[in-house]
Amino acid sequence: MRFFSEKYHDSIKLARKAKLPDLQWELQKGADVRYTVCNRIDVHRGEVPSFGYVSGDNLNPVGTFVVVRDRSIPDGVYAYDASGKSDAPDVVGQLARMGGKEDIKRIVSAFPDCDVAEEAPLLYIFTGHLERSVWRFREASYAQVMQDVGACAASVLLHAKSKGAKVFALGGFVDDEIAVVLNLSATEVPLAALAVFPEYSETAFNSVDEGVGETAYSNRSEIETAGDETLSRYPSVFMLQNRVESIVDLSKCIRIRRLSAQALPGDEFPLTPAKYDVSQYLERLSDLEAVPQTFRPFKKVGLDLDDFSGLLRWLEVGQIHLFGAGLLKMWVVAFDVMFVYPGVYRYIPVRKSVYMQSGAVNEKKFAKCHAAPEEAENTAFALILTADLNESCNLLGERAYRYMNLNAGYMVQSLHLSSRMIRKSSRSERFFFHDELRKLCDIPESESIVAEILVGKS
């Protein structure tokens, strides 16, 4: 599956090299004019978990809505407007009130886990503004928007955990019911939700899987009644795909438990313990805020073994498969990591080890697999996320495409925060030549590359 033509890659490369004007619209945080007449409440730092995230190419296509109960803020449904701020120094945005208790009930009814959604003091709903990305990413814009939503959810999850909260990821809900209550436009799609509970909550305490990563909802049985032409269509067509993978009847959905990952044959290289334990990691994480990613070439600086191990093992702080099912495979391409032989590895989180799959990968050939080769030079290591789309769709129907990209977005955001913690840089790269990169890294033909994250020193 190739997202872009070579001609389109060339145009992106030229655009990246050009100096963009300061007033380019996609870099601005314009006010959300839909809620100008709504009553507004200032949000002070620390009142709600942070959801600043690193957006692919800084397009910021995620809309954030918050259902609030039993907080200092009056109960209701709110839209978050980051650009709406008063003169107070600790105000980080505003909540525009959209509805009250009846709207809360309508939103809760759209979730199969009604108890979790109904009792949550804070219920985040993340939507994707498709029109913000389609001009740049074309057919791949749906995947990029979903990865940005996953990154935003990761930011809420990690910062909430740093305050001792429990977080439930809710990926299964009736899309249209949520869209109607929130009065979304035709190009804005509800994609994910997170329920945030205080640590002492009985609901959170009694959760079997702590609310994240264990199961996912499949619409496979639902779409089997829609006709053979639906089942045979690959889940990568931009706007049409959303209508097919949307859950419309929860009674026809099935719940899938997470797959167990098996290590491929290869020499095992155990990772060292993470530099900070979970409590220390979360404590340091609470002080970090998201900054836009840059596309400057990396410096020629290697990574020591402890930092390399920490970056991989910190992915598990908030559950790698945040939205369930465990469909992603994790490939690590090491170039300049102390005591790690250059080559391609599979990372198996439960074993805390990487397994070598092939020998040294030529760094120059790796850079040439990207639309802007100079931006991929001097990469210390790359994390490549792949999936067997046939296996995924057979298990989860076309809902699988959403879950894969949401989970990929979590890993991208986690690496961004972790690399900043140790004064390194990471960048999600979408403009690469799929077939060339897969062949160079000896990734099986059955697997498609979902996302790539480069780690180095800017």
Mean pLDDT of the chain: 80
> Letter for the amino acid at 220?
R
The helix (H) or strand (E) run that includes residue 244 is helix 238-245
pLDDT, tens digit (0-9, with 9 covering 90-100), for 140-171: 788 889 999 999 999 889 888 888 888 888 88
Q: Cβ atoms within 10 A of the Cβ of 342, count?
A: 15
Lowest mean pLDDT among 288-292, 293-297, 411-415, 429-433: 288-292
Region of 361 (left: φ > 0; alpha: ψ -120 to 50; beta: rest) is beta
At 435, give phi and psi (nearest 5°).
-65, -45
For residue 159, give every residue at least 6 positions away whose Cβ sits within 8 Å of its Cβ, in sequence order, or none.
49, 50, 51, 285, 286
The helix (H) or strand (E) run that includes residue 375 is helix 373-376
Candidates 386, 365, 358, 388; CA nearest to 436 is: 365
CB 245 within 8 A of CB 219: yes
pLDDT, tens digit (0-9, with 9 covering 90-100), for 10-60: 544 544 444 433 334 444 444 455 666 678 888 777 666 666 777 766 777
pLDDT, tens digit (0-9, with 9 covering 90-100), for 328-385: 999 999 999 999 999 999 998 888 899 999 888 899 999 999 999 998 999 999 999 9
389-396 vs 400-421: helix axis angle to the nearest 10? Answer: 120
Strand-pairing partners, residue 356, are 345
Q: Collapsing DSSP states into helix, strand and coil, what is residue 65? A: strand
Tokens of 449: 């590359």
For residue 424, give every residue at least 6 positions away whose Cβ sits within 8 Å of its Cβ, in sequence order, or none.
303, 307, 311, 380, 455, 456, 457
Q: Cβ atoms within 10 A of the Cβ of 73, count?
A: 18
- Rg of the chain over Cα atoms, rounded to whole angstroms, equals 21
Q: What distance in Å separates the CA atoms of residue 185 and residue 189, rounded to the nearest whole number?
A: 8
| Total-model pTM | 0.87
> Letter for the amino acid at 268?
E
Q: Cβ atoms within 10 A of the Cβ of 121, count?
A: 16
Q: What distance in Å separates the CA atoms of residue 389 and residue 1, rounded to the nearest whole number?
A: 10
